[in-house]
Structure 1
């Protein structure tokens, strides 16, 4: 059985694992060209998402509400990430 502390550590370790993917990709390929600010922004987004999911997991009691809030948080992450990456909405937020 996984303890509460192990689940929390896993939630916060996942952003580090995800950030290692472009780091290693940049070492082996010239196609991936992330700057320090790219890693900083990605880290902020991923750790903020992990924090919010952990908060929902600790504060909300009903499982259906937990799933609903987590889906909403992940959807917000995906939309912000897409806007920063390719500017799907064409906002000044993406630099377009």
Structure 2
């Protein structure tokens, strides 16, 4: 019998954090091929922090919410909030 302590992580967890890591590395890869993307260390730290917060919030929601429809709704709200903050920091959409 498998106890909760040794239970395997759900497959979406690895996909979520892998996608976050891929998103974090995309600007670095783009910087290698052209001058259009010019991020410094602070940009990577901010973006990494935003990804950490968004993914952490979704993990917390997944542990607390058992209804899949509610979880999808919360996930969509987190993703849209992430995109709004990213757009504001990148180009100042609202200012």
> TM range, normalised to the smaller chain?
0.7 to 0.9
Shift of 1:12: 1.7
CA distance in 2, matches of 1:47, 1:10: 14
Q: Which residue of 2 aligns with 1:93?
A: none
Q: Which residue of 2 aligns with 1:63?
A: 68
Q: Scaled by the length of structure 1, what TM-score is found?
A: 0.83
CA distance in 1, matches of 2:25, 2:40: 14
Q: Give structure 1 stretches of 5+ with no counterpart.
A: 91-96
Q: Which residue of 2 aligns with 1:94?
A: none
Shift of 1:62: 0.6
Which is higher, the Rg of structure 1 or of structure 2?
A: 2
CA distance in 2, matches of 1:61, 1:5: 14
Corresponding pairs, count: 88
Q: Give structure 2 stretches of 5+ with no counterpart.
A: 1-7
Q: Which runs of 4+ in 1 moved over 6 A?
A: none
Out of 15, 31, 34, the residue aligned to residue 29 of structure 1 is 34
Shift of 1:50: 0.8
CA distance in 2, matches of 1:35, 1:15: 19
